[in-house]
């Protein structure tokens, strides 16, 4: 009985430090990456020749493209278009989503149009964008903007609507004003939704960057993708694909870090 009482009162084991968990996840990811490379090598040996290059041939092509300056120049061009359109979308979309959620008549008026535009393929707007803005960087940036802005608006709007009504009523009962309720309850509760919207917008924005570079002036990573794909230079083609994947991973990890920091602020609010 004494032993049982002691065991019942014993505190649970503490959670491992954050760095240990991160190290374990890093090892798992490294192991999975090794498996992917092995599968890639097996596929390059099993599929018809020159269709899938070996990892070594792809690495050699990457070194060559970097040495010639083609990859850095294309990367810089694509990143400037991507981040310009994406940041513009975030700056416009978050306030619009907050306004739609905070002012219900505005939200009910605009949401049907937002959802309709979100469901429309952005490629359908490219001929009109070219007519209005030409083939320069402004057209590419606007295509990226169109791709990223809708998911950020929708998720921000949903985050505001998902605010805890009971908590809001409790705050009103103790005399909290609308501004304080919004800053202390609604906005912290909407943050996870906003970050999800930013992630989705970042992914669609990256896709639209390539689409814009293919449909307008063939430049940047999208231009290299078209050139190497049309000429079946598959090693160089894989380099561009992996570069785009790397951009997506880096942006996602940055947004995850921002989400962690915002989560701490949310807990303190």
CB distance 89 to 118 below 8 Å: no
Give the span between the Cα atoms of 269 and 262, in whole angstroms.
Answer: 10
Band (83; pLDDT cuts 50, 70, 90):
very high
> Could you tell me if residue 21 is inside a domain?
no
What pLDDT score was predicted for residue 256? 82
Give the span between the Cα atoms of 124 and 191, in whole angstroms.
Answer: 32
Give the span between the Cα atoms of 166 and 237, in whole angstroms.
Answer: 55
Top pLDDT among 10 and 104 is at 104
Band (2; pLDDT cuts 50, 70, 90):
very low
- pLDDT tens digits along 22-73: 677 778 878 888 898 888 888 877 776 677 888 888 899 999 999 888 899 9
Is 238's pLDDT higher than 60?
Answer: yes
CB distance 99 to 159 below 8 Å: no
Q: How many domains does the chain have?
A: 1
What pLDDT score was predicted for residue 144? 92
Give the span between the Cα atoms of 29 and 31, in whole angstroms.
Answer: 5
| Average pLDDT over every residue of 193-212 | 90
> Could you tell me if residue 27 is inside a domain?
no
Is 180's pLDDT higher than 90?
Answer: no
Top pLDDT among 173 and 61 is at 61
> Could you tell me if residue 257 is inside a domain?
yes
Token output for 237? 């083609």
DSSP letters for 1-66: -HHHHHHHHSPPPPPPPHHHHHHHHHHHHHHHHHHHHHHHHHHHHHSPTTTS--HHHHHHHHHHHH
Average pLDDT, the chain: 82
What are the b/e assignments for 115-148, b being 16+ CB within 10 Å?
eeeeeeebeebbeebbeebeeebebbbbbbbbbb
> Could you tell me if residue 50 is inside a domain?
no
> Could you tell me if residue 95 is inside a domain?
yes
Token output for 12? 């649970």
> Could you tell me if residue 40 is inside a domain?
no
| Average pLDDT over every residue of 9-31 | 63
Q: Is the dihedral of CA 216, 218, 222, 228 positive or negative?
A: positive
Band (242; pLDDT cuts 50, 70, 90):
very high
> Could you tell me if residue 48 is inside a domain?
no
CB distance 208 to 143 below 8 Å: yes
Query: Which positions ≥6 away from 207 have C-beta within 8 Å?
Result: 147
Considering just the CA atoms, what is the radius of gyration of the chain in Å? 24
- Residue 82: give its domain's CATH number: 1.10.3720.10
What pLDDT score was predicted for residue 173? 73
Q: In which element (H, E) is residue 162 found? A: none
What pLDDT score was predicted for residue 6? 45
Closest CA to 115 of 150, 160, 78: 150
Q: What is the 3-state secondary structure (H, E, C) of 183-205?
A: HHHHHHHHHHHHHHHHHHHHHHH
Provide the residue range defining the domain that includes 220: 58-268
Classify residue 149 as left (phi > 0), alpha (psi -120 to 50) or beta: alpha
The SS3 of residue 118 is helix
Q: What percent of the chain has pLDDT over 70?
A: 85
Chain mean position to CA 55? 27
Chain mean position to CA 62? 25
Residues present in the chain in total:
269
């Amino acid at each position: 009985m004494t032993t049982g009482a002691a065991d019942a009162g014993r505190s649970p084991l503490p959670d491992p430090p954050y760095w240990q968990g991160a190290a374990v996840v890093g090892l798992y990811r490294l192991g999975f990456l090794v498996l992917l490379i092995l599968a890639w090598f097996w596929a390059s040996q099993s599929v018809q020749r020159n269709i899938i290059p070996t990892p070594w041939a792809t690495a050699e092509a990457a070194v060559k493209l970097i040495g010639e300056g083609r990859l850095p120049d294309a990367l810089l061009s694509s990143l400037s278009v991507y981040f310009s359109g994406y940041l513009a979308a975030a700056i416009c979309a978050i306030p619009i989503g907050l306004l739609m959620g905070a002012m219900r008549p505005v939200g009910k008026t605009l949401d049907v149009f937002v959802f309709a535009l979100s469901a429309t393929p952005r490629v359908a707007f490219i001929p009109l964008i070219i007519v209005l803005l030409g083939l320069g960087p402004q057209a590419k940036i606007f295509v990226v903007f169109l791709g990223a802005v809708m998911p950020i608006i929708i998720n921000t709007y949903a985050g505001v609507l998902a605010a805890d009504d009971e908590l809001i009523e409790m705050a009103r009962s103790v005399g909290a004003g609308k501004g304080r309720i919004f800053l202390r309850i609604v906005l912290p509760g909407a943050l996870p939704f906003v970050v999800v919207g930013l992630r989705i917008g970042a992914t669609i924005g990256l896709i639209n960057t390539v689409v814009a570079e293919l449909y307008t002036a063939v430049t940047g990573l999208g231009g290299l993708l078209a050139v190497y794909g049309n000429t079946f230079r598959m090693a160089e083609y894989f380099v561009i694909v992996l570069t785009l994947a790397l951009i997506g991973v880096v942006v996602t990890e940055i947004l995850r870090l921002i989400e962690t920091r915002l989560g701490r602020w949310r807990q303190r609010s």
